[in-house]
Structure 1
Amino acid sequence: MTDKQPETNTAPANQQDWVAFLQEKSLPIRNSVLMRLQRKLQDPDASLHDIGLVVRADPSLCLAVVKTAATRHQAINSRVTSLDHAINSLGLNELSALRYQLTPHRLSAKSVAQKMYFRSLAISHHASVQCSKWLSQRKSPFMEESCLATLFYGVGYWFLWQHATQHMCEIQIRIREQQREPQLAENDVLGCTVDQISSGLLQAWGISDLAQEGLEHNEVSNRQVMRQLHRRALDENSLSTEARREVNLLIQQKFFPIKLANWLAQNVDLGWQRPGTIQVVDVINDFLKSNITATQTLLHTTCVAAARLYHVPGTLAPAAELLMLPSSHTINYRLEPTEAETLKLQPALRTAENEPSEPAGPLHNNPIDPEHLQRSTQRLTQVEQCFQQPKEVLRELLSALSRGLGFERAALYIINPRHQSLKTAFSLGFPDQHPVTRFSFDYQIPSLLKQLSEQAKVVSIRPEHRQKVLRFLPEAYQQWSPVNGFILLSVFSDNQPVAIVHVDCGMGGDRISDQQHQAVIKLAHLTSQGLTLLQQRKATAEVK
């Protein structure tokens, strides 16, 4: 495929890097599509509507047309709201000029990279067709704008499969073989999620404000919200009044069907029978106010229609998987060595930071100091008399964990609710150059850290459960978490997350005892209680 090689193989490390790397690149368009477009442009009897039908049939051609039109509209401080709007804005002359700027591509049936690239286009096209069908059935306004937003919602996948193929293959391996959460796998490999890259690209190009709004509404991707949507769909009475009100408000948002259609298309990519797909189908059924049999029939027939509208020879469409029995067999997402060699000038995969080797010799746990633990417990019980600032309370907690309970290592991650991120504030027992001292994480990404940021709790990771739990933690934890387990706890102030604390007995330390676990629970509770009291005292003083 042409236009494949970047100028450098330096690995982008975050959303900003990826957007800067991808925003000026283009996507190849199938030669057969460009030939059909050329025939229409040369046909004196063809109207803009006829040309629009050709453009609409190919997602990458849609993007090229809308991006070109958006550039013209930005000059007059205007926005493109639909594909027809873009085509009418350009007219025949500019469309003809654009045709010769596009990169044609001839399919290779043996290329895994090409198949996965076109599959990503098919997934977005499938989502757009589903959304169009639902909105038509509901007689909703803004259908053209919503369908275009649905199509471009996953544009990051298109560009990454084309220009960072090895990264996307690695993500597929982690999702399909290591059973990691998709967004967590993306963050491990890319340093951000694909949704964040899609949002950044659309913003850089100035197209589809509606898709950007949906992508930036990160709370919607929260597993807890999906569970609430599902419980509402099943008409369960377990939802609180506040939760039901929030879910009802979400469903009324203009971007909701856009996210819902992409949830369906992305889950179907992993299988029609997987629990996540079945859950989304129930939510769609509730959104359409239909019965489940009719909804399933509608989704299946619409999927088949989408496959007919956008057919790529050699690429297995989601509709084809409807005919298959549930199986462990999956699509081929691994590159052959010969094909991987042709992609070596693409950005290199990031390498995880390994924990620095510790000095030779036995590692001894800190001795448990009951007297220090008792003093710390008493001070945390009398926060208002002993402390002035929240950071003093947190340092007392770390001291109690290290000196009182004998944990070899501890790290405190401060939570920033405004940016929905956390990073290491200070640590004990880790070498100065240890990766944990530079650890940061976007806790919008579904993970155990996200769960801890939503509710004050203590999670003890035992050796027998360690590998299973690590699937729900950032990749870094596989490098520095001891085989004998560790504890993660979160502390809150007046129902707002403040920090997450990691403690363990060192890489060669003992297992965490039940006594230590129970003591950590008590300390976490006292810390959250103390931070709340300080917050209330501060609020009272400000009122006075």
Structure 2
Amino acid sequence: MSAEIISNFEDYDEDILYGLVAWTDYLVDKPLPAKASSLKRLKKLITSASSNVQQLEAVVNKDPVLSLYVVKAAQRMHSQNENEVKSILHAVNSLGYDGIEQIANSLKPISLNPTNVQQKRFLHAIASSQHAANQLHQWMQMKNLPLIEESYLAALFYSIGLWSLWLHAPLHMQKIQTLIHEHNVHPTEAEQQILGCSMQMISKGLAEDWQLSQLTQLGQDHNTSPSSQTLKRLHLRALRDPSLDALEIRELNHITQQKHFPIKLANWLALTASRSWESEDTLHNIDLISDYMGIPQEAAISLVHKICARSSRGYFSPGIMSPAFQLILIPSAIKPHYKMGNKELTANRGQYPEPEVPMIIPIADISTQSKHYHDQSFYELIAAHLTASAEDSKFEKPTQVLMAMLQGLEKGLAVKRIALLSVSHKTQSLKTIQSIGFADDEPMKSLQIPLTSGNLLTNSCNKQSYVVYDSRSAKKLAPNLTNNLKIAVSDEFMIVSIFKLNRAIAVVYLDMHNGPDDAVMTNFIRERSRNLCYSASQALSHL
């Protein structure tokens, strides 16, 4: 299963900054500084008797941070009428001079220190977003597509989580970059390991909280991203590979015609090019652009380079290596400057949160410990079925998915006791419908509780999550155990909620209780159990 499917870590695990919910809550109110030159020009126009709205829009448009604050403020005004801000000009017109002046006075300028890695990486991330937005804008103009300005904003705000992370979590970001550049860890895996989720998920979480447009959120959504297998097929189509049949080509045509596709493609290009214009990923993305635009590869390279140069002129910061400047560098083993010096590192350690490891060991750290499986081949077979793409899935009914999951837990991991509780939204209740390892007279076999009872089981139906109850978490979680639950559960257990899209359909209870021979629920068992349950949610989303 893709680690990105795990969007929430258990709220009671440890009080650390890890997982989507924790990061969204931490970053949502954190300020972002604008360029001092942008604020100066904007304030000058506001006080000028001869300025007009178009001039204000031009200044705002050249600074992504200003654009974000202006769009956020305008969206708050329009949300009451359930309208969306479609462009920067729309936002500026909505706010007027007074609203723009209020934003200009509230924002702090960034005074760039050329030796400060944190600030430079923040500005570099913003330049990459501006680059992506300009690429998309030009492509859509050339293809005469609708929604150009709205798509421009969606592409510009695609990586807002990345902007904020460099500014407010530099120690985490340095650790991620170290994994990428020194240990050859894939960026997505590095983000999952250090942050507990991907930066793209954090960006979407912020976009939701800030009420940015649905197109922005659609572009950021992992569920709308092609799988790695589909990306390979898209690349084959770009190369005019004859192995693709007519049906496959029609399916791929449908993907590229989705309104969120160019938003993703522009950001894939900008993010991979920010690491290296010569990398295989960047060259593959240019092949996809060639196919999307319907032009030869040489013309696509020329087009991308011209737009990149124009974008870099529009957003210039002294001391920052722009995307266009990186174009003229010859291939080299020299890595980007991502490590803070001792002085900066010491100062940041007292100001920003340190990366911490959660109570549960990440999957990547334990994937080689096959000795912890009861039947590894069976577990992997079940996991492969649950993580199959929609077109490759063998499941036809939700019941088949849930039964496969239970078999994987019992036979693959040898979990001693498992209970599957069905969520009934009609009767607002939670009821055991399947159990393994429980005696007939045990309360869990016939457990039925109302969803409104407010305990560990019912609370897990509010969002996709998991809870581990053991000696370390008992003090915090015990108040959430009602009397009927206390007599039904073991001293150590785990529960995981199962969702189909955004709706809870079941809760899985697991423990290792086996009479006098209780086994320990190891971190490995916890992680693999959670992995299988979240994979089941993924499989259910295809039905």
Q: Aligned to 2:357, which of 342, 351, 354?
A: 351
Distance 1:225 1:218, change over 3 A: same
TM-score, scaled to structure 1: 0.68
Q: Does 109-118 or 228-237 show the bigger shift?
A: 228-237
Counterpart in the other structure of 1:99: 104
User: Counterpart of 2:44 in 1: which secondary structure?
Assistant: helix
Q: Which amino acid aligns with 1:21?
A: Y
Listed one character per residue, the Cα deviations across residues 183-229 of structure 1 (whole Å, up to 9, x for unaligned) are: 11111111111111111111111112111012124352522121111
Q: Which amino acid aligns with 2:352?
A: Q
Counterpart in the other structure of 1:283: 288
Q: Does 315-324 or 114-123 show the bigger shift?
A: 315-324
User: What is the Cα deviation at residue 243 of structure 1?
Assistant: 3.6
How far, CA to CA, are the matches of 2:330 and 2:413 in structure 1? 57
Counterpart in the other structure of 2:524: 436
Listed one character per residue, the Cα deviations across residues 367-425 of structure 1 (whole Å, up to 9, x for unaligned) are: x9xxxxxxxxxxxxxxxxxxx96577547744999xxxxxxxxxxx9996846999996
1:113-262 alignment runs, 5 A limit = 113-262=118-267
Listed one character per residue, the Cα deviations across residues 326-371 of structure 1 (whole Å, up to 9, x for unaligned) are: 111021101112112222232220226598xxxxxxxxx99x9xxx
Counterpart in the other structure of 1:274: 279
How far, CA to CA, are the matches of 2:499 and 2:233 in structure 1? 22
How far, CA to CA, are the matches of 1:430 and 1:325 in structure 2? 61
1:468-483 alignment runs, 5 A limit = none
CA contact (8 A) 2:268 2:285 kept: yes
Q: Which amino acid aligns with 1:349?
A: P
How far, CA to CA, are the matches of 1:16 and 1:354 in structure 2? 17
CA contact (8 A) 1:38 1:99 kept: yes
How far, CA to CA, are the matches of 1:84 and 1:340 in structure 2? 40
User: What is the Cα deviation at residue 54 of structure 1?
Assistant: 0.6
How far, CA to CA, are the matches of 2:164 and 2:69 in structure 1? 13
How far, CA to CA, are the matches of 1:336 and 1:15 in structure 2? 29
Listed one character per residue, the Cα deviations across residues 303-347 of structure 1 (whole Å, up to 9, x for unaligned) are: 111111001111111211111111110211011121122222322
CA contact (8 A) 1:10 1:347 kept: no
Q: Which amino acid aligns with 1:153?
A: Y
User: What is the Cα deviation at residue 33 of structure 1?
Assistant: 1.4
Listed one character per residue, the Cα deviations across residues 420-460 of structure 1 (whole Å, up to 9, x for unaligned) are: 999996789997253223316998xxxxx99x97xxxxxxx
Counterpart in the other structure of 2:329: 324
CA contact (8 A) 2:132 2:267 kept: yes
Counterpart in the other structure of 1:519: none
How far, CA to CA, are the matches of 1:423 and 1:176 in structure 2? 39
Distance 1:157 1:440, change over 3 A: farther
How far, CA to CA, are the matches of 2:148 and 2:410 in structure 1? 57
Distance 1:18 1:391, change over 3 A: closer
Distance 1:425 1:297, change over 3 A: farther
Q: Does 120-129 or 227-236 show the bigger shift?
A: 227-236
Listed one character per residue, the Cα deviations across residues 444-502 of structure 1 (whole Å, up to 9, x for unaligned) are: xxxxx99x97xxxxxxxxxxxxxxxxxxxxxxxxxxxxxxxxxxxxxx9xxx969xxxx
How far, CA to CA, are the matches of 1:329 and 1:261 in structure 2? 25
Give the paired residue count: 406
CA contact (8 A) 1:285 1:291 kept: yes
Counterpart in the other structure of 1:337: 342
CA contact (8 A) 2:512 2:520 kept: no
How far, CA to CA, are the matches of 2:409 and 2:210 in structure 1? 46
CA contact (8 A) 2:139 2:293 kept: yes
How far, CA to CA, are the matches of 2:301 and 2:405 in structure 1? 54
CA contact (8 A) 2:162 2:199 kept: yes
Q: Which amino acid aligns with 1:303?
A: C
Counterpart in the other structure of 1:21: 26
Distance 1:348 1:419, change over 3 A: farther
Q: Does 337-346 or 285-294 show the bigger shift?
A: 337-346
How far, CA to CA, are the matches of 1:266 and 1:63 in structure 2? 19
Distance 1:391 1:155, change over 3 A: closer
Distance 1:238 1:219, change over 3 A: farther
Distance 1:400 1:80, change over 3 A: closer
Q: Aligned to 1:87, which of 74, 78, 92?
A: 92
User: Counterpart of 1:269 in 2: which secondary structure?
Assistant: helix
User: What is the Cα deviation at residue 96 of structure 1?
Assistant: 1.4
User: What is the Cα deviation at residue 123 of structure 1?
Assistant: 0.5
How far, CA to CA, are the matches of 1:101 and 1:16 in structure 2? 27
Listed one character per residue, the Cα deviations across residues 87-143 of structure 1 (whole Å, up to 9, x for unaligned) are: 000011211122111112211111000000000000000000100111111111111
How far, CA to CA, are the matches of 1:49 and 1:441 in structure 2? 56
Distance 1:433 1:76, change over 3 A: same
1:348-387 alignment runs, 5 A limit = 348-351=354-357
Q: Which amino acid aligns with 2:520?
A: D
Say if 2:385 is the partner of 1:297: no
CA contact (8 A) 2:159 2:200 kept: yes
How far, CA to CA, are the matches of 2:199 and 2:220 in structure 1? 10
Q: Does 100-109 or 429-438 show the bigger shift?
A: 429-438
How far, CA to CA, are the matches of 1:326 and 1:441 in structure 2? 44
1:484-503 alignment runs, 5 A limit = none
Distance 1:25 1:221, change over 3 A: farther
Listed one character per residue, the Cα deviations across residues 508-537 of structure 1 (whole Å, up to 9, x for unaligned) are: xxxxxxxxxxxxxxxxxxxxxxxxxxxxxx
User: What is the Cα deviation at residue 239 of structure 1?
Assistant: 3.0
CA contact (8 A) 1:11 1:348 kept: no
Give structure 1 stretches of 5+ with no counterpart. 1-8, 356-364, 369-387, 402-412, 444-448, 454-491, 499-544
How far, CA to CA, are the matches of 2:192 and 2:268 in structure 1? 18
Counterpart in the other structure of 1:55: 60
How far, CA to CA, are the matches of 1:227 and 1:399 in structure 2? 33
How far, CA to CA, are the matches of 2:326 and 2:19 in structure 1? 34
Listed one character per residue, the Cα deviations across residues 150-179 of structure 1 (whole Å, up to 9, x for unaligned) are: 000111101111111111111111112211
Counterpart in the other structure of 1:46: 51
TM-score, scaled to structure 2: 0.68
User: Counterpart of 1:439 in 2: which secondary structure?
Assistant: helix
Counterpart in the other structure of 1:459: none
Q: Which amino acid aligns with 2:79?
A: Q
How far, CA to CA, are the matches of 2:256 and 2:106 in structure 1? 41
